Amino acid sequence: MRKLLCLYIIALWAGAQPAIATRQVVLSTTVPRTQPITCPGYIASNVSKTGDGFVAELILAGPPCALYGMDIKRLKLDVRFDTKNRLHVHIKDADGQQFQIPDNVVSLDSGHGVRNASSNLRFDHLHDDLSGFGFRVLRGDQVIFDTVGHPLIFEDQYIEVTSNLPADANIYGMGESPDFLRRNPANTIKTLWNRGSPDLFQQNVYGSHSIYMELRDSQFHGAYLHNSHGMDIVLANSTIQYRVLGGTADFYFFGGPSALDVIDQYTELVGRPSRIPYWALGFHNCRYGYKSVYEVNDVIANYSKANIPLEVAWTDIDYMDRTRDFTFDPVNFPLAEMQKQLAYLHGRGQKMVLITDPAILYNSSYEVYARGHEQDVFIKNPDGSEFIGQVWPGYTVFPDWFALNTSSWWSGELRRYFDQLPIDGMWIDMNEAASFCTGSCGTGKPAGSTPPYPWTLDPQPPHRILDVNNTFLVPPYAIHNQEVELSDLTIETTAKHANGVSEYHVHNLYGHMESKATHDFLVNYRPNKRPFILSRSTFAGSGALVSHWTGDNSATWKDLHISIASAFDFGIFGIPMVGADICGFFGNTTEELCARWIELGAFYPFSRVHSALAYAPQEIYRWKTVAEAGRRALSVRYALLPYFYTSYQRSVENGWPVARPLLFEFSHVPAVVDNDRQLLVGDSILVSPVLVEGATSVSAFFPAGLWYDWYDYSVIKGTNNNVSLSAPLEHVNVHVRGGKIVPTQEPAMTTTDSRKNDFNLIIASDEHGAATGELYVDDGETFDTAARWVQFSYADKSLSIGQRSGQFKISQPLSKLVLLGVAGVSNVVVNGSSVHANFKAANGSTVITGLNIDLNVKSVITLK
């Protein structure tokens, strides 16, 4: 039993996951708050208009309340109308002593500035005799943010801003925290403190995103707090309340009015999603626990034998020499064999991605550490010594991304690594940053000594005594971080960065800054090549640098379900290339669960199966039913690659998510406000997966309109109601939305080969016999590629192909039309000339093959 327990605990750390049993010590106030608030608030004075807003002073209105620290008596209010639909409201200490995120860490778009009268948003400030200064943000006559009646609390280590909400408000976003799509407006606490933890329901995990959206009267608006400190965002008592451990109240408000508009406005501010290489949209395989490069070779071969497409072979920390970054196990993963594997993959149009952690072994004989130590790039203790935690290789130090030499040192180590093995992408993990101990546990220990993993100790050592006199270690207000201390299993909050700032202020930025340094290296190492980087820890703006997976989930049906909402969350956060570990990371999956998961996971923007050490392998070829479910679902994905890529380009240009809830397209339908059991790919493809064990049917919601079955072209006339769909184990229901035109290509075993095939168009007629769509094409690899946007419009049995922009030469012709809901077509006329084609009728639809239409020119195709 003890051996099994040890294996279980070891597995909890798998995939670089510090997850020993969490000590559940609640140090913070509960929600709703019960103690009376006697803070006086502030009085606004000396209001001065500017060209695009105004400034004012805020003076403490009475005796300090000292709720969680020292009240700051003088504040500055700065209001600016950045754009017509974005309002910036910044409340900061007048002396400028509170920490703010440096512009070179998260660069925000300032907008061109507009006059108050030109903005779609309005700002009003009022004075309440009991609570002092308050403000309202309005869109037209609708108040979308309202602090009036709630005192502003601004202390050295605590800021509180409260806004009124409607009863039973529809709130989305805030996290990262596995949860249902719609946040419970009566009892939600979202804690922003990056934490290397398994995906525990409703707890804070790897990233921090304070953006939220609200749906009100069928329209969306949003708000973002630009602050890197730990915080709780609380929904209770018809309010949203921010409780922040320092910094400033730096708010941005977005007018929408659609969900896509809010995300567009937010990503315009923090950065548009990065451009990904086309191959990233293929199917990926990984496992923590591969014993050798030869086992990975077998996995690659077995996917091919099973006729399941495999785009990218990933390897976890197993490949490293004693889990040290930038090394290769000389016995099980020798460099020469890894080079052979990479060459083999490249010869077949496949790719390789390997993992890297930020923690560096503390040992002068390890050259990576020696060079970093010489260049003074590691985070320090307050006494100036190097902060030494513990991660996989033993006692470790951590790069200080604020230090002057760190980027060049990191780039140098990566260059040596890539020069040996030019892998195709990078997986940066453990970058919350995670540690296996609390504090600088390696200080005073011999360099190179190998401590036991803490979870192997029996009995477990007691937690250290809390230093309540050090408010950076134990802040007066304790956010709902699910550890005893903020410093548990991460870098000590009192550790010092090269710019003199304590980790307390910048903890949530660590993974984002590693992402930036890694991104900068790759774009310099491979000029004009789009990098692919997968990061566990993220912050506002990380989508401009990296993609994301939702971390260490479990092989449970609930985790399968919650993965959908998590993907939707990251669409809101501006990181559209997102997915969950298919079949679950922790635990032994079942054949049925894995089959259902690949049916859903085939439609995540980032589609990867991944599992943990000490559990049974779960490559999807291992079960007959799972293999068949994978082949079927992935054949749909690979056919849809042109559509996925077009949808992702919309992310690049407008920030729009690829994976969307029905709510984003049908905000006027009350029934979809909490629908997180179905997934829209873009605006046209609806996936209705089975999420319940033992089910052979699924109850799927269909908004009003026509919805066509992907496989047999049968039509459902949606009436804003649920429809029961047959769903045998190897089948996932996929429907095409009426009124949409979807570009496809015949699927192949890799994205490279799929791209060589002719284009097809699925034309899904609406009730009026019309449909529209678009196709984006470029080389899928470089930044300065030529590109082409092609527009499609169908009405009255006539298809128009228009050239919106671009000069990219599309080599493959359009050879097939699938006319959903259109029967009896037997003749095709292209630009006035009849052409030979083949026709097949199916379920009231028509499939036309044998065409050869140039997508680089305008064309009109008449169907008779």
**pLDDT per position as a tens digit, 262-283:** 999 999 999 999 999 999 999 9
Q: What angle do CA 213, 83, 540 make, to 5 degrees?
A: 45
Q: Tell me the CA distances in angstroms from 91 to 58, 111, 120, 135, 736, one per residue in order.
A: 9, 19, 22, 11, 47
| Furthest-apart CA atoms within the chain: distance in Å | 87
For residue 649, pLDDT beyond 90: yes
pLDDT at position 448, please?
80
Single-letter code of the amino acid located at 724: S
Question: What's the whole-number mean pLDDT along residues 221-230?
Answer: 98
* Residue 116 scores a pLDDT above 50: yes
3-state percent helix, strand, coil for the chain, nearest multiple of 5? 20, 30, 50
The whole-angstrom separation of Cα 7 and Cα 194 is 26
In a domain, 142, yes or no: yes
For Cα atoms 644, 668, 84, give the angle at the middle one, nearest 5 degrees.
75
Residue range(s) defining the domain that contains residue 221:
42-270
pLDDT > 50? residue 688: yes
Report the Cα 582 to chain-centroid distance in Å.
Answer: 16
Tell whether the model's pLDDT for residue 854 goes beyond 50: yes
What integer is the mean pLDDT of 779-791?
A: 98
> Burial level of 832, CB count in 10 A (0-12/13-18/19+)?
exposed
The enclosing domain of 163 has a CATH number of 2.60.40.1760
What tokens appear for 108 in the block?
């925000």
Give strand ranges (E) for 493-610.
Answer: 533-535, 547-549, 578-579, 581-582, 607-609
Residue 37 pLDDT level (bands cut at 50, 70, 90): low
Predicted pLDDT at 493: 98
Question: For residues 780 and 787, what is the distance between their CA atoms, to the nearest angstrom?
Answer: 9
Domain end position, chosen among 252, 270, 288: 270
Domain-embedded: residue 203: yes
The closest alpha carbon to 156, from 91, 225, 71, belongs to 71
Please state the φ and ψ torsions of residue 238, each to the nearest 5 degrees.
55, 40
Given a contact cutoff of 8 angstroms between Cβ atoms, the answer to whether 438 and 489 are in contact is yes
Q: Collapsing DSSP states into helix, strand and coil, what is residue 804?
A: strand
740-754 pLDDT tens trace = 999 999 999 999 999
Query: Is residue 793 packed enough to be buried (19+ CB in 10 Å), middle (13-18) or exposed (0-12)?
Result: middle
Residue 13: the pLDDT is 33
pLDDT in tens, 490-499: 999 999 999 9
Work out how many domains the chain is built from and give that number: 2
Element (H, E) at 301: helix 293-305
Gap between the Cα atoms of 577 and 840, Å rounded: 37
Q: What is the model's pTM?
A: 0.95
pLDDT per residue as tens digits for the range 435-459: 999 999 999 999 888 899 999 999 9
Task: Please give the pLDDT value at position 36.
Answer: 54
pLDDT tens for 361-388 read 999 999 999 999 999 999 999 999 999 9
Reported as a single tens digit per residue, the pLDDT across 547-599 is 999 999 999 999 999 999 999 999 999 999 999 999 999 999 999 999 999 99
Average pLDDT score over residue span 198-207: 94
Average pLDDT over every residue of 156-181: 97
The residue from 253, 270, 287 where one domain ends is 270
Asked if 820 and 763 count as a contact pair (C-beta separation under 8 A), the reply is: yes
The rounded distance, in Å, linking the Cα atoms of 585 and 589 is 9
- Of 270, 301, 334, the residue at which a domain comes to its end is 270
Q: Are 565 and 532 in contact (CB under 8 A)?
A: no
Q: What's the CATH code of the domain at 770? A: 2.60.40.1180
Give the type of residue at 645: Y
Band (pLDDT 50/70/90 cuts) for residue 30 is very low
Give long-range contacts, CB 8 A cutoff, 24+ apart: 618-624. 618/287, 618/555, 618/583, 618/584, 618/589, 618/594, 619/285, 619/287, 619/299, 619/302, 619/303, 620/308, 620/582, 620/583, 620/594, 621/302, 621/303, 621/305, 621/306, 621/308, 623/591, 623/594, 623/595
Percent of the chain with pLDDT over 90: 94
Residue 644 has pLDDT above 90, yes or no: yes
Helix (H, G, I), strand (E, B) or coil at 514: helix
Confidence (pLDDT) at 449: 86
Looking at residue 515, what DSSP letter applies? H
Strands of 787-795's sheet in order across: 833-835, 828-830, 859-863, 798-806, 787-795, 770-778, 740-745, 759-764, 814-820, 845-853, 838-842
Hey, what are 601's tokens?
């996971």
What percentage of the chain reaches a pLDDT higher than 70? 96
Q: 550 and 199 in contact (C-beta within 8 Å)?
A: yes
Catalytic residues: 429, 432, 552
Residue range 748-777, pLDDT digits in tens = 999 999 999 999 999 999 999 999 999 999
Q: What is the pLDDT of residue 519?
A: 98
pLDDT at 3 over 90: no
- 3-state SS class at 616: coil
In this prediction, residue 23 carries a pLDDT of 22
pLDDT at 8: 32
Residue 186 lies in a domain: yes
Q: Is residue 52 part of a domain?
A: yes
Domain contains 266: yes
Taking residues 230-234, what's their average pLDDT? 98
> Does residue 5 have a pLDDT over 90?
no
pLDDT at 115: 95
Residue 117 or 31, more confident: 117
What value does the mean pLDDT take over residues 344-363?
Answer: 98
CA distances from 850 to 183, 467, 847 (A): 50, 76, 10
Identify any residues that bridge with 513 across adjacent strands, giving them in sequence order: none
Sign of the torsion formed by the C-alpha atoms of 747, 753, 758 and 763:
positive
Q: How confident is the model at residue 12 (pLDDT cuts 50, 70, 90)?
A: very low
Cα R_g (the chain), whole angstroms: 27
Least Cα distance to 837 among 817, 822, 857 occurs for 817
In a domain, 231, yes or no: yes
* Rounded Cα distance, 50 and 19, in Å: 51
| pLDDT tens, residue by residue, 282-335 | 999 999 999 999 999 999 999 999 999 999 999 999 999 999 999 999 999 999
d(CA 146, CA 125): 10
* 722 occurs within a structural domain: no
* Spatial separation of the C-alpha atoms in residues 582 and 408, rounded to whole Å: 36
Q: Is residue 210 part of a domain?
A: yes
Q: Let me know the angle formed at the C-alpha of 127 by 225 and 129, rounded to the nearest 5 degrees.
A: 120
